Amino acid sequence: MNPHLVQKIVGFVGLATVVPILASAVIYFLLPRQSRYHGIAAVLASTISLLLIGYCARIAPDQPILVSVPWLWGDAANFGVGVYMDRASLFMALMVCVVAWLVQIYSLGYMQDDLGRYFALMSLFLGTMLGLVLAPNFTQLFVCWELVGFCSYALIGHWFDRPSAADAARKAFVVNRVGDAAFLIGILMIWAGAHSLGLSELRSQWQHSIAQTSTATLIGLLVFCGAIAKSAQIPLHVWLPDAMEGPTPVSALIHAATMVAAGVYMLCRVHWLFTGDALQVIAWVGLVTAVFAAMVACRCWDIKRVLAYSTISQLGYMMLAVGLAVPAVAMFHLVTHAFSKALLFLVAGVVILLARREQDLRRLGGIARREPVLYVLFLLGALSLVGLPPFGGFYSKEMIVAAASKTARWMFCVLIIVGSALSGFYITQLSVSVFHGTERSQVSRSIGVRWKLMIMPALGLGLLSFASGWMGWYEVFGGANADLETAERDWISSMREPLLHLTGVGSLNIVAVLVGALTALLVQARGYYLNRVGPTPIARAIENAFYIDQIYHVVIGGIYNWLTRITSGMDALVIRGMVPELLRSTFDLTGRLLRGFQVGDVRAYIATSMFVLAVILWLLIRKLHLNV
Amino acid sequence: MNLFYFTAFPPLVLAGLIFVLGDRHRKAVRCLVGLGAIHCLLVGLTLPILYSLAGAKTPANWKFVAEIWFLNNSGLGINGKFGLDGLGVTMAMLSGVVGGTALLTALLESDRPRSYFALFLIMVGGLFGAFTSLDLFYMYVFHEFALVPTFLLMWLWGRTPDKKCQALQTAIYLNVGALLILVGLIWVRFLPGVASFDVTALSGVNVAGADTFGAKFVPWMLMAGVGILSTVWPFHGWAPGCYMTAPVPAVMLHAGVLKAFGIYGLFRLASVLGLDSTSCLVHMVSWLAVANIVFGGLIALQQKNLNLTFAYGSIAHVGIVLLGLCGGTEMSWTGAIVAMLANGIWAALAFGTVGALEARFKTSEIPTLTGLGRRAPWLASMLVVVGFAGCGLPGFLTFVGEVLVLLGAWEIPQLRLQVIFMAVGVLVVAAVYLLTVIRNTVHGPADHIKCVEIPWVERIPTFILAGMLLLGGVYPYGVVKMGSSFERPRRFTGASLVHSNGEGAQWEKLEAISSGLLKSSK
């Protein structure tokens, strides 16, 4: 490897990570409070990062590059900051930069008059997300993991006057912290067992050191807990639907495309960590989450909540792919999902602005007639999301299905098909309620000059989500397609081959999606949810996500409350009550006792003196006796 | 450079001058206090640089050793020796920074009589003297210089109606602790193997195996005394009342720096008392540390007053330092030292911010302080810094201390359960109560739209403290390198108890997991 090339790449990538963080500091400290330069600075920084990362992704050599400097301790390899670049991390960083750049341009239009800390936090998020993606060791990974969690908190709470937004921000951070605690304990166990935290070094020596011991599964599960929290899997999924309180571009960037994908990315990065048992658990958790979230999405009445549960569901599919030991497929699905979901969120944002902040499905409609471009963009995203060919989502989902059908478990395939049907249902329900039918709420004529700023990025994402299946994303993440010859591959063959080699389960999948879509159309036509008297208990349970949130609030919140009350009570009563009381009464009693000797009774004085004299005489006589 | 005349002497001289000047020259008094504040900040910020640059060392990492002849008394074994090692320079830095900002905060308060400022200068001088002293006796003397003014400040200028009662309670409780420490320190002088009060000679001594009553009893007594002074559970009862009542700069100094003094003493005496991971005292203390962290965080959630919330928060942070001490490895001790620095700055920032809130809004009750994000943006951002630094967000120095303690203590298998509790306590419990504080004060609707603008002069103390937390968090290597250059007691080789049969303990030496930090300077 040419050392100059390495130096150049390392420099550029380091710059790409640091520039957004510097821009964030400049915006926060130097620029005046509400100024359009916030957005310009942020977009400039993300453009620089995008160009640098894009360039490095092109010229990077095949071997990984690892550089770190001491940060937390002298041992830079384990406790330093730096970059670890191989194809997977560079292209993940590229995806993050592309989506972040497009969303920030969109934000210039969306967040026009409403700035606060928004762009500073978005820039900080981009820098720390890149730091996470390019982390060379668990230390930097954990540090950036926490920092993106903080950015998410601050951006969800952007409108912190609203109690619901403030509560949602706190919930997001605390739930993520629960997963992070388990993650940290897993990191500690890796440190103690393997004596190393560097990702590339651990990969090479994992097999010899820990993989054979009994704690390997436990370590894998603890590390997975971090991903459960970050990627909103059951049981720590409760923060993501509430996170929709934040501005829509935040939901698009952070809670659809990048931060929640960080959990999946981390699992793919360290997939050699997991034993077979741990992978089983990961696969089941992912699958159950996928189906559960898809079910709940079918009965959500808020645009962003539907998309949130849809994100949880798709993340479940990615976890399933990790659990099936095909991490390249998980990364592929991550990328196709990122493009399509970000697009859906951006379109939803425009719809919300058009409808004057109305987000309820039951009160929207007819937008397709007003803004056909918007409808086309929505369709691009929706078709990719459910996985219909030739859109990007089809290729990644097809690979997950293929991997699942190779295992002996038919339950996997059944649940995947059920999930696909449900996804067809909810996306069609969303599309029809929002875009078709009669206009049930007032829709603005136009949103002025912001339109171009918001539609251009959406168009970009539309193109990407259409083409992501055959752009070559799978190959850069290390996937090797056995069906295709490695020599002559171009995008046409990438597009065509999976269709020709469609398995039985794969075609069942597509059929299921269409069935789900048809059901949704039927339900809409019959106006089921408009005309019925009231939803059945089951429907209501699904609507409330099986009351998991409420159960947590009552049970965990109740236990925690009880604990705090007991400890405060004990503190007040025993420690701050009894201990000083004990001291005080000791002094008091001693004083009273001693006072008894000083009452002025001469006879008592004489008696005491006689007694003491007698004791002294006795002691003297004893001493004399002994001496004699 | 004579350490004593550079650090401890000037504040005491300034205090004397202020007493001499009297109340008629208010402006001169304030100038002197400002001078004192600048001196403190200068010492706090330049001493680490000078320390890192100083090449020549006396053996065992002690730098700038100086002897003050008129403080010597070789008959009793007292030496007026002053010097620094990594631990000392970190604590001196903490005293300087927190002392300087506390003096600035005192200056910014409305007109106070001269004794108010003089007492603070005595406190700061005492702190510098305590941390630079290499003699146990003078450590204690200077510590008393720093401690006693707190009682006077509480009695005369307390913030609550029951200030006299609180001052009495705090005074008695803390004096019991100081008494235990005094008796303990004098007893240490007479333990087998100890020749004088000199700290530099202590690292070779270890009385843990000795059979005398003193060797067995003194560690427990000292631990009780330190526990009272450093708010270790269950001896923390005096702290909430004290931090509510004492004037803000006094609380900043006390909660920030003075509290760390007890544990600093334990670090100095760790080798003499045999406080490594095998002693059962240390095992019990590690569970007390866990109690600090967990109970402190739980109780803080219940409080309705910001002062009390942060009081319990600082009590919780003591647990981190204590667990680092119990770990006994190089990494955990360094983590504990960095944590002392970080949590001291954090406590000063927290109480300074609450003081500013009280000055503007005349209350520190949480229910009445909502929507600060819109009403007082600067104070709100300080509260957010306090909140996230308190729960160990990376990017702040507090994270560095905590994670080094966790990593270091994990190397000792017997402490792993405690480390798990600490991880949960620091990551989850602390986040819950701190984010609840932010939710209830900073977030939420602002009913009274009156926006309070803090003039830039008043922002300086909190800005310095927050800036140090942030700078230390963004590039911690310098602070870590500085804090880790201490003499590890010769018995502490990361050994862990493997077998213990009737004849005694067998030691197994663990390999160093983390490479030594200062190969060149050792």
Residues on chain B touching A70 (C-beta within 8 angstroms): 477
pLDDT tens column, A311-338: 999 999 999 999 999 999 999 999 999 9
- In A, minimum Cα distance to B475 occurs at A71
Task: Note whether A73 contacts B331, CB cutoff 8 Å.
Answer: yes
Residues on chain A touching B245 (C-beta within 8 angstroms): none
Q: Where are the alpha helices (DSSP H) in A26-162?
A: 37-59, 76-79, 87-110, 118-133, 138-156
Arithmetic mean of pLDDT, B159-182: 92
Residues on chain B touching A568 (C-beta within 8 angstroms): 298-299, 302
Residue A475: pLDDT over 90: no
A543 vs B: CB within 8 A: no
Q: What is the C-alpha separation between B101 and B116, in angstroms, rounded?
A: 15
The alpha carbon torsion through A59, A63, A64, A69 (nearest 10 deg) reads -90
- In A, minimum Cα distance to B437 occurs at A170
Calculate the average pLDDT of chain A.
88
Residue B184: the pLDDT is 92
Residue B208: the pLDDT is 63
Q: What is the distance in angstroms between the Cα of B238 and the nearest Cα belonging to chain A?
A: 7
Arithmetic mean of pLDDT, A62-82: 89
Place of tokens 């969120």: A345
pLDDT tens column, A196-234: 899 988 888 887 776 767 788 999 999 999 999 999 999
From chain B residues 224-243, the ones with a CB under 8 A of any chain A CB are 233-238, 240-241
Residue A628: the pLDDT is 56
Confidence band, pLDDT 50/70/90 cuts, at residue B410: very high
> Which residue from A6, A117, A118 is spatially nearest to A61, judged by alpha carbons?
A6
First-to-last C-alpha distance (Å) of chain A: 99
Arithmetic mean of pLDDT, B396-406: 96
Both tokens of A405, joined, read 């059908």
- If one compares A120 and A60, the residue with the highest pLDDT of the two is A120
Residue A536: the pLDDT is 75
Residue B499: the pLDDT is 33
Residues on chain B touching A576 (C-beta within 8 angstroms): 237, 240-241
Residue A257: the pLDDT is 85
pLDDT tens column, A232-276: 999 999 999 999 999 999 999 998 889 888 999 999 999 988 988
A578 vs B: CB within 8 A: no
pLDDT tens column, B316-340: 999 999 999 998 888 899 999 999 9
B172 vs A: CB within 8 A: yes
Q: What is the C-alpha separation between A20 and A104, in angstroms, rounded?
A: 12
Contacts of B33 (CB under 8 A, 6+ apart): B14, B18, B103, B106, B107, B117, B120, B121
Arithmetic mean of pLDDT, A75-92: 90
Task: Note whether B237 contacts A575, CB cutoff 8 Å.
Answer: yes
- Count Cβ atoms within 10 A of the Cβ of residue A251 and give its class: 0-12 exposed, 13-18 middle, 19 or more buried: buried
Arithmetic mean of pLDDT, B77-86: 85
pLDDT tens column, A337-362: 999 999 999 999 999 888 888 888 88
A188 vs B: CB within 8 A: yes
Arithmetic mean of pLDDT, B459-471: 94
- If one compares A599 and B249, the residue with the highest pLDDT of the two is B249
Arithmetic mean of pLDDT, A425-454: 81
Picking from A142, A161, A174, the nearest residue to B374 by CB comes out as A161
Q: What is the C-alpha separation between B438 and B422, in angstroms, rounded?
A: 23
Residue B514: the pLDDT is 35
Could you check whether the bond before residue A235 is cis, i.e. omega within 30 degrees of 0? yes
Arithmetic mean of pLDDT, A606-611: 90
B394 vs A: CB within 8 A: yes
Mutation choice for B interface testing from A114, A177, A222 by most B CBs within 10 A: A177
Residue A493: pLDDT over 80: no
Mutation choice for A interface testing from B404, B439, B451 by most A CBs within 10 A: B439
Per cent of chain A over pLDDT 70 is 95
Residue B503: the pLDDT is 35
> Which residue from B176, B188, B354 is spatially nearest to B255, judged by alpha carbons?
B354
A559 vs B: CB within 8 A: no
Residue A481: the pLDDT is 52
Mutation choice for B interface testing from A73, A566, A579 by most B CBs within 10 A: A73
The DSSP call for residue A28 is I
Residue B113: the pLDDT is 83
Task: Note whether A181 contacts B427, CB cutoff 8 Å.
Answer: yes
Picking from B176, B439, B477, the nearest residue to A167 by CB comes out as B439
Residue B41: the pLDDT is 95
Specify the range with the lowest mean pLDDT, choosing from A147-156, A440-449, B172-181. Answer: A440-449
Confidence band, pLDDT 50/70/90 cuts, at residue B516: very low
Calculate the average pLDDT of chain B.
86
Mutation choice for A interface testing from B320, B421, B427, B484 by most A CBs within 10 A: B427
- In B, minimum Cα distance to A80 occurs at B477
A159 vs B: CB within 8 A: no
Task: Note whether B445 contacts A163, CB cutoff 8 Å.
Answer: yes
- Across the A/B interface, how many CB contacts are shorter than 8 Å? 133
pLDDT tens column, B414-440: 889 999 999 999 999 999 999 999 999
3-state secondary structure of A274: coil
- In B, minimum Cα distance to A157 occurs at B443
Arithmetic mean of pLDDT, B145-168: 92
Residue B55: the pLDDT is 59
Residue A185: the pLDDT is 96
Arithmetic mean of pLDDT, B265-271: 87
CB count within 10 Å of CB A481 equals 16
The alpha carbon torsion through A235, A241, A247, A248 (nearest 10 deg) reads 110
B510 vs A: CB within 8 A: no
Confidence band, pLDDT 50/70/90 cuts, at residue B511: very low
Residue B488: the pLDDT is 66
Contacts of B109 (CB under 8 A, 6+ apart): B247, B248, B249, B359
Arithmetic mean of pLDDT, B48-74: 74
